[in-house]
Amino acid sequence: MLFNTPQYLLFLPFVILVYYCLPPKVRYIWLLITSYYFYMQWNPLYVTLLFSCTFLTYLCGRVVEWLKICAERSDTGENTDSEKMRRRQKLCFIICIFLNLGILGFFKYFQFGISILNCLLAVIHVNGISWEHDILLPVGISFYTLQALGYLIDVYRGDIYAEKNFLRYALFVSFFPQLVEGPIERSKNLLVQLRKPQPFSYENLRKGALLVLYGLFLKMVIADRAAILVDTVYQDSGAYPGFYVAAATVFFSIQIYCDFYGYSTIARGSALIMGIHLMDNFNAPYYSESVKEFWRRWHISLSGWFRDYLYIPLGGNRKGKARKKANLLAVFAVSGLWHGASLTYVFWGVLNGIYQGIEDVGEDIRQWTEKYRLKWRQMTGEATREKGPCFSERLFRTTLTFFLVSFAWLFFRAGELDQAVEILGNMLRENNWVILFDGSLYGLGVERNDMNVLVASILLLFVVDYHKYHGKDAADLFLKQGWWFRVSGIMLLLFTILLYGCYGELYDIQQFIYFQF
């Protein structure tokens, strides 16, 4: 069931209505039932994988906590098997991690692994392995697996207590608004809220409904319309060389942002109406002044997961600058592989890691020069008050960051490395910059009127993100305005979706891009 379908717009109000009619103590059971029903709309058989991940991590969490308690009792003299208990605790934890990663690896990386192995065997002139069966990737498996493993790691570290109610924990793993595309919630946030359901709030209803509407606008008006232009060029880049590819790549940067941000916004709004606050997964990333800042603002839940559960355990930045750069590359390579079973995604991840390594070197040089500049000012009696970067410098940094990130998106969109190289070659083959101004872009599947709507919608997006980048909540600002302004704004947003949204009999409803991950 997709968020941008009439089925979901009927499903959500029904779930919310029944939710508030039930006693608070049993509401989580209703949400669990509806969450499993929601997931079964794709393929009922894959519910077994969701349940297996849930059961394994729940059971292991309980066992790990019990073994930890036994070990602590041993330390006080009640038992003499402290070290044995700790070894069992670690063994149970490792086995559960490998079982869950094994399930994810089989469905997501088995065919990729076979292809890599066959390439290696071909080098030594050995016949490869024949595999003719397709393995369908279960929707959302990458997201709910990381969420469940994050909970297990927190229990193992002692950051939280293991959840005793299996049904409530099952809801934590399968909560339908964020089940298939995140955000990847932490148990300290979502699981705690599920234990204490909130009463109905008119303010939550207003803001949640506004978020759902804005998310649909991002997806149906911007992302799906930009996708038409992007697909036209990328499916035949030889016929659209030079700046056609460059323009399509920039539009893909907007498309993937609005697609993923739109899903996260609908998820947040849907949960908020029920009094559940999901984390904000995006914080105006295209206003970032560095790639490092971009990754603090893009897909925040995934970046935070890899930081806390992979980068820091690898040593983070505590073991020297060389080790820090190696850790960064390793984490971004894994992040790329998480996005897809292809060398292109790995390259995309490593490229973003290289960007950050170069930025670290540049920051070291800046600090070195600034130190000697400060000494010179002290010697000459100049004022030593620090001045922040001027507007032109910040604009340059933001623009450069956007184009660096967009260049990396080219490899992400291509899907295969050889296709990415071909598309990049077609982009560099011809210097036809004039097509950006002579109306040629109107011939890429998006007519002039639709293109004007797309550009105007993107401008609205960047106005909203501008406020967000400066720490203001645009939804709260909007809801504080006069009633006539609120009604006019909501009606304009609604009519824009109805008139210019991509849907209907002649349009193939587009699934969200990150569903494939």
Residues serving a catalytic function are 339
Give Rg (Cα) of the chain.
Answer: 25
**Assigned token pair, 513:** 């891009």
Contact 453, 220 (CB under 8 A): no
Q: At what angle do helices 224-234 and 243-273 cross, to 10 degrees?
A: 150
Contact 446, 228 (CB under 8 A): yes
Contact 146, 305 (CB under 8 A): yes
DSSP letters spanning 404-415: HHHHHHHHHHH-
Task: Count the alpha carbons within 13 Å of 247 in the hemisphere toward its beta carbon.
Answer: 24
**Assigned token pair, 455:** 């550009």
**Assigned token pair, 123:** 């080098």
Planar angle of CA 288, 442, 224, nearest 5 degrees: 55
Contact 456, 252 (CB under 8 A): no
Sign, CA dihedral 122-126-132-134, equals negative
Planar angle of CA 419, 421, 424, nearest 5 degrees: 105
Distance CA 489, CA 476 (A): 13
Q: In a 10 Å sphere around its CB, with 0-12 CB exposed, 13-18 middle and 19+ buried, how is residue 59 labelled?
A: middle
User: Cβ of 287: how many Cβ atoms within 10 Å?
Assistant: 19
DSSP letters spanning 258-294: HHHHHHHHHHHHHHHHTT--PPP--S-GGG-SSHHHH
**Assigned token pair, 201:** 């709030």
